[in-house]
Structure 1
Amino acid sequence: MCRMARPRKPLLSRDRIVEAASALVDSEGLDAVSTRRLAAELGVSGPSLYNHFRNKDEILDAVADAVSAQIDLSMFDESDPRDWRAALHDWAVSYRAALTEHPHIVPVLARGPGRRPAGLRVADAVFGAMVGAGWPPAQATYIGALMRYFITGSALGSFARGFVDDETAYDPADYPHLGQAHLLAERRRQVDEGAFETGLRALVDGLSVQYELLAPGGTVRPAPKRS
């Protein structure tokens, strides 16, 4: 009995394409991805990619969804003891960590989940947890949008990296309060993570104040009048 020879390279699959595209995005950015480049990286003909994806945009959607799948959602399980405040905080930290590992794909993620399964699971978990905690559906929607704006904005850029490490660049005569700004670049991670945590806690604290104003019927009580 003769045996069929094994192919020298693994058969092409969606996972292999996404893995190769993810590596390109991480190393060179979104513009580096093309079906021709991916085919060359995978050692296949260009048209073979179309058996799995219709175009480049679908491939990038799949890369974005693979990043969404890395976000921890366990804090929204009914069995988890964390209240909505702690859950929202811990989810946001996990969300940002996934994005900062793959910053070049953030512009695709920032457009929203569309039809991406993992992205939709994230949106569903957050919305469901907020409604389950007593937020009205409209407010729960606003919270999900607010958090996405904040987290993706944080991951899109670096405040600290915006300053050069040349102390002569910030003349005290022109910028009297930026005498230490040249030190920010070397402390980028500390500054960026500290800024994110400060903003996140401010957001959650502010939402907690709004939550305390919720009436039992699910409407928001008017703020007390100031004397």
Structure 2
Amino acid sequence: MCAMARPRKPLLSRDRIVETAGRLVDEEGLDALSTRRLAAELGVSGPSLYNHFRTKDEILDAVADAVSAKIDLSMFDPDDPRDWRTALHDWALSYRAALADHPHLVPLLARGPGRRPAGLKVADAVFGAMVRAGWPPAQATHIGALMRYFVTGSALGSFARGFVDDESAYDPADYPHLGQAHRLAEHREKVDEGAFTTGLRALLDGLGAQYEKHEKHVHVSGGTEA
């Protein structure tokens, strides 16, 4: 009697679990993910998931980290010619694009990297690049936090979608300056992209002014600032 041949690929793997869990969250939101639902989608028994992950939270962490891994960090490489301001600009665009592709995961990513390896690599790359550029370590930490607040905040929701497309909702007697507010949702992408670009430019302009003051201070004092 011949033994049944083993499948060439295992029925289950960490990558397959993460990919399927990510698809569920993308399509239906965080609340749609449960170990029972995930096991059903994978065509396996629930307990088999625990051979790869101890809890649902560990699965979610892995899904979130897979998104962080998509963020471009090449601009923070020591050999990259971009200055710190251009690097932050280009990174912010990549960061926001990664979040825009997975909006349901933004609340989870906004909490910070925790123990997630890819998320920690992002934080490490930003901090290291800012310190190399001459920012004091404390300020480099503040910049990393500021950028996370700004990018994740912009990805958490749409300003334009916060307004309905019903002109009657904005009676000029009550809202004299919202006569065109009903058109915002129609131009959502343009409005939200414009707001992000404007905010990023203003943020970097402000950091640039702080950087110049710091550089002058270091030059005059002949030392460094903690």
TM-score tier, shorter chain, comes to over 0.9
- SS of the residue 2:70 aligns to: coil
Tell me the residue number matched to 1:173: 173
Q: Taking every aligned residue pair, what percent have the same amino acid on both sides? A: 84
Post-superposition shift, 1:11? 1.8
1:115-144: CA deviation from partner (whole Å, max 9, x where unpaired) = 101000000000000000000000000000
- Equivalents in 1 of 2:167, 2:9: separation in Å? 53
- Equivalents in 1 of 2:8, 2:91: separation in Å? 43
Post-superposition shift, 1:73? 0.4
- TM-score under structure 1 normalisation? 0.93
- Equivalents in 1 of 2:110, 2:50: separation in Å? 26
- SS of the residue 1:49 aligns to: helix
Q: What letter corresponds to residue 87 of structure 1 in structure 2?
A: A
Post-superposition shift, 1:219? 2.6
Contact 1:134 1:218 in 2 (8 A): no
Tell me the residue number matched to 1:128: 128
Matches within 5 A, 1:1-227: 2=2, 4-7=4-7, 10-214=10-214, 215-216=217-218, 217-219=223-225
* Greater Cα offset, 4-13 or 118-127: 4-13
Over aligned residues, Cα RMSD in angstroms? 1.6
- Equivalents in 2 of 1:2, 1:136: separation in Å? 70
1:129-175: CA deviation from partner (whole Å, max 9, x where unpaired) = 00000000000000000100111110000000000111111111111
Task: Call closer, same or farther: CA 1:169–1:9 in 2, change over 3 Å.
Answer: farther
Q: What letter corresponds to residue 191 of structure 1 in structure 2?
A: V
- Equivalents in 2 of 1:92, 1:71: separation in Å? 9
- Equivalents in 2 of 1:36, 1:197: separation in Å? 42
Q: What letter corresponds to residue 134 of structure 1 in structure 2?
A: G
- Equivalents in 2 of 1:33, 1:9: separation in Å? 25
- SS of the residue 1:213 aligns to: helix
Q: What letter corresponds to residue 99 of structure 2 in structure 1?
A: L
Post-superposition shift, 1:7? 3.5
- Equivalents in 2 of 1:177, 1:74: separation in Å? 44
Post-superposition shift, 1:5? 2.5
Q: What letter corresponds to residue 218 of structure 1 in structure 2?
A: T
The runs of 5 or more residues in structure 2 that have no matched partner are none
Task: Call closer, same or farther: CA 1:12–1:136 in 2, change over 3 Å.
Answer: same
- Equivalents in 2 of 1:115, 1:12: separation in Å? 24
- Equivalents in 2 of 1:19, 1:60: separation in Å? 11
Q: What letter corresponds to residue 52 of structure 1 in structure 2?
A: H
- Equivalents in 1 of 2:190, 2:100: separation in Å? 14
Post-superposition shift, 1:37? 0.4
- TM-score under structure 2 normalisation? 0.94
Post-superposition shift, 1:87? 0.3
- SS of the residue 2:200 aligns to: helix
